[in-house]
């Protein structure tokens, strides 16, 4: 068996959560008594595969994250807490600067249901394919809309996946992709796989996440997450 590669989780918690409609950022909202962000940090903390966590939070929130989440809940694998940027890709780029060789797990802190099995599947996938993302086959028919909201295309549902995080890469590969991306005048990527695809022409493999691996974006998501958590307890 090959020697285990060093694994760093870059957990993104710099989002403002405008769609949540609250003054508190979505990753700090309480979910069954603990901040949403706590749950993904706990999963990476507990994983035998993850060696280090880089936590990327909003500028000026570093002290709050350290006191109220990392220290309060004993997340010892968080080695650095750094400020994010204006957009998601800025935050990822800032986090990548702090990573070492090996594999990088990039994860949205507003997805509290990453678990050990998902982390294991990601490791198996990245070991073979070098670039992979969590996702699930779409349950719904998806329509591509023209600017006037007229349907322009209906993709075959069997080939449509809903993409999640973690998105996992060889550290050198994703750093190179983001370095090239940050040199672009216009940046139009919404996830890390797009950076690898567009900048390097790199094939990205899909692995199974979970239908429960939702992102907390709206008040309804928080209610659904509470149901999932209570069912697990």
Do the domain assignments include residue 155?
Answer: no
For the cut 60, the answer to whether the pLDDT of residue 110 exceeds it is yes
In this predicted model, what pLDDT tens digit does every residue of 57-108 receive, in sequence order? 999 999 999 999 999 999 999 999 999 999 999 999 999 999 999 999 999 9
Q: Which two tokens stand for residue 62?
A: 């570093």
Q: Three-state SS for 40? A: helix
In angstroms, the CA 119 to CA 175 distance is 20
Q: How many domains does the chain have?
A: 1
Report pLDDT for 18.
60
Residue 150 covered by a domain: no
Examine residue 141 and state whether it is found in any structural domain, yes or no. no
Domain containing 88 — which CATH number?
3.90.550.10
Residue pLDDT, tens place only, 128-181: 999 999 999 999 999 999 999 999 999 999 999 999 999 999 999 999 999 999
pLDDT at 31 over 60: yes
Task: Match 């993409």 to its residue by tokens.
Answer: 163
Q: What pLDDT score does 21 carry?
A: 56
Are 75 and 53 in contact by the 8 Å Cβ rule? The answer is yes
Identify which of 59, 58, 71, 6 has the alpha carbon closest to the alpha carbon of residue 28: 58
- What residue numbers bound the domain in which 190 lies? 7-131+163-227
Q: What pLDDT, on a 0 to 100 scale, did the predictor assign at position 20?
A: 55
pTM of the model: 0.95
pLDDT in tens, 210-221: 999 999 998 899
- Domain assignment present for residue 145? The answer is no
Does residue 179 belong to any structural domain of this protein?
A: yes
Given a cut of 90, is residue 51 above it in pLDDT? yes
Residue 75 lies in a domain: yes
With tokens 């989002």, the residue in question is: 15
Residue 146: inside a domain: no
Residue 232's pLDDT is: 83
- Whether the ω angle into residue 166 lies within 30 degrees of 0, i.e. cis, is yes
Strand partners, 207: 134
In a domain, 142, yes or no: no
């Amino acid at each position: 068996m090959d020697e285990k590669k060093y694994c760093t989780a870059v957990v993104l918690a710099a989002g403002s959560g405008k769609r949540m409609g609250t003054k508190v950022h979505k990753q700090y909202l309480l979910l069954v008594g603990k901040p949403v962000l706590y749950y993904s940090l706990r999963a990476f903390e507990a994983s035998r595969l993850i060696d280090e966590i880089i936590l990327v939070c909003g500028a000026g929130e570093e002290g709050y994250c350290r006191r109220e989440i990392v220290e309060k809940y004993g997340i010892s694998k968080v080695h650095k807490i750094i400020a994010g940027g204006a957009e998601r890709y800025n935050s990822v780029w800032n986090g990548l600067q702090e990573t070492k060789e090996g594999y990088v797990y990039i994860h949205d802190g507003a997805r509290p249901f990453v678990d050990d099995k998902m982390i294991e599947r990601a490791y198996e996938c990245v070991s073979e394919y070098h670039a992979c993302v969590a996702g699930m086959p779409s349950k719904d028919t998806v329509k591509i809309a023209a600017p006037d909201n007229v349907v322009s295309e209906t993709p075959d549902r069997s080939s449509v996946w809903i993409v999640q995080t973690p998105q996992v890469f060889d550290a050198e590969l994703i750093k190179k992709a983001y370095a090239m991306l940050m040199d672009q005048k216009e940046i139009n990527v919404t996830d890390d796989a797009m950076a690898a695809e567009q900048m390097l022409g790199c094939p990205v493999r899909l692995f199974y996440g979970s239908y429960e691996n939702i992102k907390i974006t709206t008040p309804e998501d928080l209610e659904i997450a509470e149901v999932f958590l209570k069912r697990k307890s």
